[in-house]
Structure formats: C-alpha cells, structure tokens
Structure 1
Amino acid sequence: MKQGYLQIYTGNGKGKTTAAMGLALRAAGAGLQVYIGQFVKDMKYSEVRLMEQVLPQITIELLGKGCFIDRPPEEGDRQAAQEGLDHVAQLMKSGQYDVMILDEISIAIVCGLIPEENVLALIERRPQEMELVLTGRYMPSSLMEKADLITEMQEVRHYYTEQGVLARDGIER
C-alpha cells in the first residue's frame, strides 16, 4: 500500500471486533501481512482459532491478562497492557506488517491500563503505508480526531439486554 489510513470502529453496538476481523481477512486475501493485538480478551474466540489454523499471513496475540468485567483492573493488568503496547511499537517499527489491528485498545485506555498519550504517540510513529485499525467502546476524542475513517456501531436492540442471552459460540465468541 502506498498510503495507509487510521480506522476506528467504536460505539456501544455489537460488531467492532467482527468488522476488524473482516478487514483482516480481506487484507490477507489480497496478500497483505496482518497483525492483530487483542488488549482485553482472555480467550481465543472462534475466528482467532480458525485464522491461526489456515491464515499464516495473520498474526494474533493476546496482549493483556484478559477480561476484568467482574473485578477492578490490577497492577498486573496495567503491566501486561503496557508491555503489549511496547511490543506493538516494536512490531510497527519492524515493517513486517501492512495492517495492524489494536482490538479493544480504547477499553485499555479508559480503564487506566495504558496512557492515552502513549497510543497517540504510537499513531504518530506508524509508517505512512501502514493501515492501523483501533477498536473499542468509548474511544477517546483525541484518537478520533486523528482518524481517517470512523465507524460507530450503535445498539438499537440486542438479545442480551432484551432477553438475557449470553455470548454464544460461533456468533459472539
């Protein structure tokens, strides 16, 4: 790619990670090298397991200690997230990836795992030809101001809130 852009998928609706994974598949299909760093996921979801099996041009790593919905973030969570961001910065400098996806990065920022200014610095240092995708709810306005594309997923109705249906294999995980 001659020119990469900064894309953001945010909002309170379902589909941010799914959209980013779709972009990863499309990029891999075009022969691009893709990196996906997941900051707040604690398990390999179905799409990750499949991509690892059949798409060697997509690298996926869990960069945090996982989900902390049922507990406050701890120092270990902050350390893991910062180490993950440092790792991403090194990979970015290596030039081996055409597309980088930082999944749930906004949650890592909002929950105090990594400083917003560190992510802004990463955006500023990315190679011009690299496509960078950030996902997550509550995306800070400072990051949104840097974006070339913003898609906001808006929840209109969800069977979780309406019927209490939990995440299902193959659909939400």
Structure 2
Amino acid sequence: MVVQLETPSTNQTLRLPYTVEGLIQVFTTSHRNFFTTVMAEALRIAGQGTPVLVVQFLKGGIHQGCSKPVKLGQKLDWIRCDLPRCIDTPHLEDSENESLQELWQHTQKVVSSLKYSLVVLDELSLAINLGLIPEADVLSFLARRPPNIDIILTGPEMPKSILDIADQITEIRCSHRP
C-alpha cells in the first residue's frame, strides 16, 4: 500500500516511499484470563486519536450486540454478543449462536471497511476451540484483512495455524515465587 497525499496548493498527489504494514499479534495463556495489558494498549492507542475496536466474542451479560457498542472516549468502540450470559460451552441455544455469528460477520465487515486501525479479538481462540467459529474462517479473514490494520487475538490454547502466521506472540505465564 502506498499512501497518497494531496498538496493543498497544487492538488498534486505525492506518493510516499514506504508502507505501514499492520501486525497480527497474539496474546495467549494456559488459562482463561482477561488481558489487562491488551486493553491498556487499546486505550492508549485510542487516546492518541487512532480508531480502535475491541470485540469480545464470548462475553455477554449486558445485552449489547453490534448495534450498541460501548464507546470509551471518542476513538474506542467495544462490542459484545447480545447475550444474557457468557459463553463457556459449545452447546448454544439457536438465538445465542445467531448472536455470535452476527458479531463475527459484523467484525469482518467493519475491518474491511477500514474504520479501525487496531482491532482486538478477545477470546477468539476459545470460540475456535469450542467449534463456534471455524478456524479456516479466521485464517481466511486474517489473510484478506486490509494490510495496514493491526489485529490482536487473545485467548488460551491459540491454534498453531494462527501462531504460525502471527508477527508477535506473547505468552502470559503464571509464576509463583515462595
């Protein structure tokens, strides 16, 4: 991708000699955990004026859904499934599965629309491992995403196929010292 700028005085297009490639980052751990560092990074980036989307696939409880994102400041949108509970099983009611699939479709659509520069996909590995979102769909989504968008995937037991394409992998480990 080459960035183009119009100069105000001549209306000529300038081509910059570099591209900014987005990264695929993975934050994983052996246990289910909310990644405070990921959220802190998302808030920091949004506070600097960059549009950020946080998607929590398995969290519910607040009847939110795609049409009612929580806005944190002017640049961070946070969405969850429109569910009365958190998902922790592959056995979903039809309405729960519809809500999850709607969120996945919405996420793919807004990423391709270039609305956000950073997209956090929280607990996507669990959705894959529970068989709720096909791994092949996630790999296809990551392959066709606009190249300048950073994607952060979180969750335990991240599939090897995703680890293989990640630009950065952070493994959170619990260490107890006596």
- Aligned counterparts of 1:25 and 1:60: Cα–Cα separation in 2: 11
State the secondary structure of the residue aligned to 1:26.
helix
RMSD: 2.4
> Match for residue 91 of structure 1?
110
Corresponding pairs, count: 151
TM-score by length of 1: 0.77
> Match for residue 22 of structure 1?
40
Cα gap change, 1:16/1:141 in structure 2, threshold over 3 Å: closer, same or farther?
Answer: farther
Name which of 145, 148, 159 aligns with 1:140.
159
Kept in 2, the 8 Å contact 1:39–1:108? The answer is yes
- Aligned counterparts of 1:77 and 1:53: Cα–Cα separation in 2: 23
Higher strand share: 2
Name which of 33, 37, 50 aligns with 2:55.
37
- Aligned counterparts of 1:91 and 1:70: Cα–Cα separation in 2: 27
> Match for residue 111 of structure 1?
130
TM-score by length of 2: 0.75
- Deviating runs (4+, > 4 A) in structure 1? 13-16
What are the ranges of 5 or more consecutive residues in structure 1 without an aligned counterpart?
Answer: 45-51, 158-173
User: Given the alignment of the two structures, is residue 101 of structure 1 paired with residue 120 of structure 2, yes or no?
Assistant: yes
> Match for residue 3 of structure 1?
21
> Match for residue 3 of structure 2?
none
Cα gap change, 1:105/1:14 in structure 2, threshold over 3 Å: closer, same or farther?
Answer: closer
- Aligned counterparts of 2:48 and 2:104: Cα–Cα separation in 1: 27
State, as a whole percentage, how many aligned pairs show the same letter: 33
State the secondary structure of the residue aligned to 2:35.
helix
Cα gap change, 1:59/1:151 in structure 2, threshold over 3 Å: closer, same or farther?
Answer: same
> Match for residue 9 of structure 2?
none
Cα gap change, 1:71/1:16 in structure 2, threshold over 3 Å: closer, same or farther?
Answer: closer
Higher helix share: 1
What are the ranges of 5 or more consecutive residues in structure 2 without an aligned counterpart?
Answer: 1-18, 63-69
- Aligned counterparts of 2:138 and 2:82: Cα–Cα separation in 1: 15
